[in-house]
Amino acid sequence: MSIVTIERKVLEKNDALAASNRQMFARHRLLALNIVSSPGAGKTTLLEATIDRLKHHVRIAVVEGDVQTDIDAQRVARYGVPVVQIVTNGGCHLEAGLVAAAVDRLDLDAVDLLLIENVGNLVCPANFDLGEAMKVVVLSTTEGADKPLKYPAMFRRASVLIINKVDLLPYIDADVGTIRRYARQINPKLLVFETSATTGAGIPEWCDWLLSTLTAGHA
């Protein structure tokens, strides 16, 4: 019982900080996305492709979450956008307080789109609200179709599913239709994109959706 009580208190504190973050993002009229996936799904490469396509049209900033190193932040910084690294030192997820401290180092008046790359994990990040407008879950074709069934909380709480690495479909035993069916079995409202962050397939559609969502928000 004590374990349950401690966990509830932790989540309650996080939710309060997340609500504060959400109010702050609303004041600055920016769109904050929490990008989540298991390790190796291609989140950072997807961010690079997204930034490269949109950086001349949208003011983008990035918060990078990693267990160790700032390798991903260095990759993103090459695209000329503001980036803040959070190193969790073994923590399996970002928390709202960490994000608040990170964005305090950004000029949010100069940001339209805030991309928060969470730690590679499909379990813990599902429970921690960061104040984002929505969660975007990235699933690579190499992971198998059963991920939504194995990690239902993440897919239930996400608004967007990006099925990445579709360029590998000719070489692996994976079926995108099955991934879609399982994912929408968990969350019928999921918006789904199929992409290859390395070849660029599907990136225009994903970026067009981001632009339309930003336009609607500012309107």
* Residue boundaries of the structural domains of the chain: 2-218
Structure tokens given for 124: 């813990």
Q: Does domain 2-218 have CATH number 3.40.50.300?
A: yes
Report the C-alpha gap between 86 and 201 in whole angstroms: 30
Q: What is the pLDDT of residue 76?
A: 95
Q: What is the mean pLDDT of residues 42-50?
A: 97
Beta bridge partners of 116: 34, 63
Q: Is the pTM of this model over 0.75?
A: yes
Q: What is the pLDDT of residue 40?
A: 93
Tell how many helices (H) and how many strands (E) occur in the chain. 8, 7
Structure tokens given for 88: 């969790």
Asked if the model's pLDDT at residue 54 lies above 90, the reply is yes
Asked if the model's pLDDT at residue 4 lies above 50, the reply is no
